[in-house]
Structure 1
Amino acid sequence: MRILVVNPNRVDACTELIRTVATAAAAPGTEVEVTHPASGPVVLSGQNEVLRSAIGVLDRVESLREGADAIVLAGFGEPGREAAQELAGVPVLDITECGPALAQLRGRRYTVVTSTEEAVPVVEDRLHTLHLDGRCAEVLATGLGVPDLVGRREEAQSVVIDVAKRAQGDVVVLGCGGMAGLAPAVAEAIGRPVVDPVPAAVELAQTLVRLGQ
């Protein structure tokens, strides 16, 4: 089985982090390929960068889809899954859907902890489009962009924990690929379930392939 994971930003350290976490979630025999767009915005904040990055993501999907059994889009709040599904011909999963989907199996309401304040309306709009906002208690920002989340790891973990402690939801979803891998530490600190949507999406992708979906 081969799963293609596309990180919509062009921060190399974030792509490497996603590769590490996604590969760890793969079952024996599953190959995980992680990439990011060849061009476009390096960091995604507001709608401008998000929409411009979608073209690069679709280009990557189109050029690398051959031989992929499933595709994971590893940007939280970014559009494009529907268009990628048209191109791919295999299951395409968006971490924006996978994280809340699992969170709703763990609790009544969930809180998304995301990167910057600019990302909050982007995430809120995408959750609304996906009809996932009904059980979303709130979207909270850490104030940290992707470069800080991946480049200042200890500080980032501390900030994510502090924000997650304020969550009104009984489950927390990490709403940024740059937070991949932080779920165990955050869950231990806040005493509530925490969903990391990157490994969640990889696990769900493998399940869909095995079920022949």
Structure 2
Amino acid sequence: MKILVINPNSSFPMTCSIEETAKRVCSKGTIIEACGPTQSPASIEGYYDGAMATYHMLDVVTHKETADGYVVACFDDTGVDALREVVAGPVLGIGEAAMHAASMLACRFSILTTLERSVPIIEDNAAEYGLGRRCRGVHAADIPVLALEDEQDESIFSIVNKAALDILAKDRSDALVLGCGGMTHLAARLEASLGVPVIDGVSAAVGFVEALIRMGLKTSKSGGYAFPRDKQTSQNGEGGNV
């Protein structure tokens, strides 16, 4: 099987880090292809960045060979619903995957993301996924997304580790969810330090998508995720009725 792992932002180092994790956790025989749109914002930090990235992500996917499944490697689950309309294989965002994985491993979990401006998006997603009660808090480490590009920066691990210790105690949570695809390289070290399950969405999404493909399941094309309808424009180039 082939899984296309899409980093919706344009950070090449982050795409490489995400690809490394996906290839490490995938099953033997699974082909992982990672990509990221070069025209997207360098990082996704808020609604505007997410809207811009969705457009460019969809453009990249339409020019790629069809894959058996897709992973959207942004914790905001940027453009997941739109992508589900244009492809047939299962599509999973790392936010949804990580939250569901955490709900299977712990009674309650906390999410640690990068900046405060991302917290409302993630809180709304948790509620939409029916996990608002299991998620005891979404917190920001006050780290810009692009600061995670340097995997050798020990100060980043120290900041994230301290923040994680604080929020687990505050929320009385039993597991930590990493709220950014750029944190994927920190998961193993954090789990060893914290002593609780640390869920990385890239790993979770790859595993879930593999399982869906093996089960022969695809995205429903009846209803909301049906392929987009062809639209006609008038001869003068203007759109038709709204």
Q: TM-score, normalised on structure 1? A: 0.94
Aligned counterpart, 2:161: 161
SS of equivalent residue, structure 1 residue 165: helix
Q: Is the 8 A contact 1:44 1:50 kept in 2?
A: yes
Give the letter for the 1:81 counterpart.
Answer: V
Give the letter for the 1:188 counterpart.
Answer: A
Aligned residues: 212
Q: Which runs of structure 2 are paired with 1:114-193 in the superposition (5 Å)?
A: 114-151=113-150, 153-166=153-166, 167=168, 168=171, 169-193=173-197
Aligned counterpart, 2:76: 77
Instruction: Report how far residue 146 of structure 1 moved.
Output: 2.0
Identity of aligned residues (%): 34
Q: Any idea what the Cα deviations from partners look like across 1:1-41, whole Å, max 9, x if unmatched?
A: 10000001111111110011111111111110001113121
Unpaired runs of 5+ in structure 1?
none
Q: Which has the larger radius of gyration?
A: 2
How many angstroms apart in 2 are the aligned matches of 1:163 and 1:21? 23
Aligned counterpart, 1:17: 17
How many angstroms apart in 1 are the aligned matches of 2:76 and 2:126? 7
Q: Is the 8 A contact 1:99 1:195 kept in 2?
A: yes
| Alignment RMSD (CA, Å) | 1.3
SS of equivalent residue, structure 1 residue 180: helix
Aligned counterpart, 1:5: 5
Aligned counterpart, 2:94: 95
Q: Any idea what the Cα deviations from partners look like across 1:100-154, whole Å, max 9, x if unmatched?
A: 1110011111101111111111212222233332211011111112221122532
Q: Is the 8 A contact 1:120 1:139 kept in 2?
A: yes
Q: TM-score, normalised on structure 2? A: 0.84
Instruction: Report how far residue 52 of structure 1 moved.
Output: 1.5
Unpaired runs of 5+ in structure 2?
218-242
Q: Which runs of structure 2 are paired with 1:46-85 in the superposition (5 Å)?
A: 46-64=46-64, 66-85=65-84
